[in-house]
Structure 1
Amino acid sequence: MNSRFLETFIALARTPHLRRVAERMHATPGALSMRIRSLEQELGVALFTAEQKSLALTDAGRRLQPYAQAVLKAVEELRQAAQPRDAVTGRVRVGMMETVVHTLLPDFVKAMGEQLPGVELDLSVDLTVNLIENLMRGELDLILCVGQEPRSPYVLAENLLNLSIHWIARKDLVDAQDALRQVFRHQIMTQMSNTAPYNAAVSVIQKLAADQGVPATRLRISSSPSLAALVALAREGLGVAVVPGLLVKEQLDRGELVQLPLPTPQPLTIAQWHALNASPATLCTAEIVQQVCAAYCARHAPGGWIALADTGIRSGPGSGP
């Protein structure tokens, strides 16, 4: 069975538009149609029906789709196992959220250069919602994002690290002994609105305020897409930041910032996602990410700033045969 035929089947199941998939696979729509017809003849079933300008999976196509995914995954693992790591070549498009830039990125780039010198990295930084969308569109190969359950059977997701979240302020801004009462006098700054870290922080802030009898109308909560900006504002005494403590460890050690003894939101989980039928270069890159995370955690775990996450690999509904 030709693996390219299976790849075409899976690609069209994900994006049921011949022309769009043909452009992504550097082929013609006619060539893709021939691959699907050949696969249908070999399997003895119809996989798609035509609906106006798009395709739709038949019942048989939906039933066979997870089996095709499993075969492709096995083929890629076989190819990967057959190559020494230093012989792996290609280009891997890696998207990451900003937290990764300030933590894992330098170690990751160094490890890639040492262990996968034949792989070219194409790096980008974005919000998790955009990273996931770009991965699903095939515009990224691997993403490092906020951990959550994948909704697609075409994606493998693995939680890597948990970063503890802390209330951070300039040392003379809030009296730590009276932090619970004083903190609501100031602007409270957290990560980008409508993200999981933001929602978790706001939930804790609102509960604390309610417990202290502070009306919601008196709360001043602001958000920023830039963690670096939040830290800079906190250093200037322009508010209290609710951020991963590891990002300001040096400023805390120097006494420029202090950690306030207040209840904290749930940890921020960093996860990596890639397609089920990822290339050997992408799979090797994912292994290096795992190694980098383990080493980074070993260095920074003292103090409770960071911990390895539950590393169970998951995919979305309908991923198994």
Structure 2
Amino acid sequence: MNLRFVEAFYWVASLKSISRAAEKLYLTQSAMSSRIATLEEELGILLLDRRDKQFKLTVAGARFLVYAQKLLELQREVKAEMGSGQAMAMSMRIGAIESVLHSWLIPWLEKLRADYPALELELTVETTPILIDQIQRGTLDLVFAVLPASGEGVRTQALPPMDMAFVGHPDLHKKRNYRLDQLAGMELLTFQKGSQPHVTLLDLFRQHRMEPKKVHAISSISAMVQLVQGGFGVAMLPRAAVERLTGFTRLKLLTCDARLQSLPINASYRTDPSSRTVETVVQSAIAFAGGRNNEPKKRPKVNP
């Protein structure tokens, strides 16, 4: 039995789509359909119910899916046991929100490449809803987003949340400390409407019975930073991203008397019975992000 054909069936069944499975395995749809048809011919049974436009496994297909997973797991164990000790080949499709990109993602990827020189990477930067849709569809292997993804074959692990902070221009925002009512009188910038930072910022003012002057919804951290530099207003951003960006541009973390809610980060990924690559990468990310989270916090620069 050709295990490549078994793998093809496993991903078709897991992703509930021949086209998505073909994209996952870098095959054409016709090649994927051919592999499934050949496997069915060898087994002497139909694995897919083709009578309906809606994807459905036959009873035999559902039974064989259990064996397909076991076969792929056994293949993985044999390769690990009989391997030559060569560097593990790693091909990963990773997605992340901008907050992760501008904080620890780049140094983590540099460490990952140093640990696994055979790493081949596809990186996507998108909003949480898009990333969740892509991991559920199987077009990404691993995503770092605010919300956890769900679905068959998808697992999630929580990473350390990100502290949020107000950031301004050092020449315009010179006070040592700011009260929330003072910030309410300024033009504020945060992420797109409906996002966790946008919602929690508005809730913060409601809890203190305040109405902010203006809250601008900006989907890009780079755009927010440029607007702050241009004197447009004060942005609410992840502290780690601001500390990293201060190496490239002039920003000032503003001390405020109100506590901001942290930004949750979740690593969602698809399990693969034929490889431990994704789990290895996830554990690397958790260790790296956790280590950075335990580093002493930098004190914000204070202008008199």
Asked if Structure 1 and Structure 2 have the same fold, meaning a TM-score greater than 0.5 normalized by the shorter chain, the answer is: yes
Deviation string, structure 1 residues 93-131 (Cα, Å, up to 9, x no partner): 222221222222332232223211112222232222222
TM-superposed deviation, 1:220: 1.6
Task: Look up the SS of the partner of 1:57 in the other structure.
Answer: coil
Structure 1 SS opposite 2:55: strand
**Alignment match, 2:290:** 294
- SS, match of residue 193 in structure 1: coil
Shift of 1:152: 0.6
How has the CA–CA distance of structure 1 residues 3 and 243 changed in structure 2, closer, same or farther, with 3 Å as cutoff? same
What residue ranges of structure 2 are gaps of 5+ in the alignment?
none
Between Structure 1 and Structure 2, the one with more strand by share is: 1
Structure 2 equivalent of residue 268 of structure 1: 263
Distance in 2 separating the partners of 1:73 and 1:52: 31
Matched residues in 2 for 1:108 and 1:166: separation?
A: 22
SS of the residue 1:95 aligns to: strand
Letter in 2 for 1:240: V
CA distance in 2, matches of 1:294, 1:177: 29
Q: TM-score, normalised on structure 1?
A: 0.73
- Residue 226 of structure 2 aligns with which residue? 232
Query: What corresponds to 2:154 in structure 1?
Result: 155
The structure-2 alpha-carbon separation of the partners of 1:16 and 1:247, relative to structure 1 and needing over 3 Å to count, comes to closer
Q: How much does 1:190 deviate?
A: 0.8
Q: Which has the higher contact order (CA 8 A, sep 6+)?
A: 1
Structure 1 runs not aligned, ≥5 long: 306-321
* Corresponding pairs, count: 291
- Displacement after TM superposition at 1:5 (Å): 5.0
CA distance in 1, matches of 2:121, 2:196: 28
Does the CA-based 8 Å contact 1:179-1:261 persist in structure 2? yes
* Aligned residue identity for 2:91: R
Aligned to 1:315: none
Give the Cα–Cα distance (whole angstroms) in 2 for the partners of residues 19 and 246 of structure 1: 39
TM-score by length of 2: 0.76
Residue in 2 that maps onto 1:207: 207
Residue 30 (structure 1) aligns with: 34
User: Residue by residue, what CA displacement relative to the aligned partner does 1:59-88 show, whole Å, maximum 9, x if unpaired?
Assistant: 675677578557645754664566577521
- SS across alignment from 1:102: helix
Tell me whether 1:110 sits opposite 2:106 in the alignment. no
1:249–1:56 CA distance, 2 compared to 1 (3 A):
same
User: Which residue of the partner structure matches residue 167 of structure 1?
Assistant: 166
How far apart, CA to CA, are the structure 1 residues paired with 2:282 and 2:205?
A: 36
Aligned-residue CA RMSD (Å): 3.7
Deviations 1:210-244 (A, max 9, x none): x23x4xxx642111121132233334442222221
| Partner of residue 309, structure 1 | none
Give the counterpart of 1:284 among 277, 280, 283: 280
- The match for 1:145 is 145
Name the residue aligned to 1:310: none
- How far off is 1:176 after superposition? 6.6
Please give the residue correspondences for 1:36-55 in structure 2 after superposition, counting only pairs within 5 Å.
Answer: 36=40, 38=42, 41=45, 47-55=47-55
Distance in 1 between the 2:80 and 2:201 partners? Answer: 42
